[in-house]
Amino acid sequence: MAGRPREFDRDAALEAAMLLFWRKGFAGASMNDLCDAMGVRSPSLYAAFESKEALYLAAFQHYATTEGQAVWDKLADGATARAGVENLLLAAAGNLPKSRTAPAGCMVALSAVSDEWPASITREVRKVRLELLDSLCARLAAAVASGELPGATDVAALSRFYLSVFQGMAIQAKDGATQADLKGAAEAAMAAWPGDGG
């Protein structure tokens, strides 16, 4: 391919954009901020990512397939669905608070919770959040099929419940909750597992 070669690392720039969007949201991260954080001038940025909206969607996908995936993969970990859900919530407790390298909260849980966001982003974010609900439903339905959970279990309700715990933990992480704080909430949530005594 002819033409002057790109002077910046596209993946590194996307990672920087992800971190800024993660911290400040869509409207809060201006193109100026993004250019600074990515180390790229705006014409190069537009040539590589098309628009701010497209850049956000790319950064969001990047988040979902790296940071987000690492936590939600835990749902498949463990011999039982109960262990999977517990692993998920404990991983969330470990990852949601602010760290040296990552902002607090979760891009998937906390993006587009007001109507100020572009419609295409709201649509995509909602889709991914509903996929989280689906993955919980699938794991719990399998547990019903295997006999781990009673046949009368309301899988949809139980899935929504555990999703809400995860999402609420993300909000509390934004408010400064520590790993220990969230671990306590996660353990309390596991007491709701059908069949567990109190």
Q: Which residues bind a second copy (CB under 8 A)?
A: 23-25, 27-29, 105, 109-110, 113-117, 126, 129-130, 154, 156-158, 160-161, 163-169, 171-172, 174-177, 181-182, 184-198
* Joined tokens for residue 36: 């600074």
Phi, psi of 137 (to 5 degrees): -55, -45
Q: 53 vs 181, which CB is nearer to DNA?
A: 53
| Residues that contact DNA, how many (by CB under 7 A) | 25
Asked if 92 and 164 touch (Cβ cutoff 8 Å), the reply is no
Q: Please tell me whether residue 126 binds DNA under the rule CB under 7 A.
A: no
- Distance between CA 4 and CA 19 in Å, rounded? 28
Angle, alpha carbons 183-77-89 (nearest 5°) = 20
- Distance between CA 20 and CA 33 in Å, rounded? 8
The binder of 151, among a second copy, DNA, none, by C-beta within 5 to 8 A per type, is: none
CA atoms within 13 A on the CB side of 48: 23
Asked if 133 and 163 touch (Cβ cutoff 8 Å), the reply is yes
Least separation in angstroms between residue 58's CB and a second copy is: 18
The binder of 164, among a second copy, DNA, none, by C-beta within 5 to 8 A per type, is: a second copy
- Distance between CA 102 and CA 143 in Å, rounded? 34
DSSP 126: H
DSSP 99: -
Q: 29 vs 107, which CB is nearer to DNA?
A: 29
| Residues between 57 and 96 that touch DNA (CB under 7 A) | none
The binder of 176, among a second copy, DNA, none, by C-beta within 5 to 8 A per type, is: a second copy
Given candidates 47, 76, 119, 188, which one binds DNA under the rule CB under 7 A? Answer: 47
Q: Please tell me whether residue 178 binds DNA under the rule CB under 7 A.
A: no
Given candidates 36, 41, 120, 134, which one binds DNA under the rule CB under 7 A? Answer: 41
Q: Contact positions toward DNA, by CB under 7 A?
A: 1-8, 27, 29-33, 40-44, 46-48, 51-53
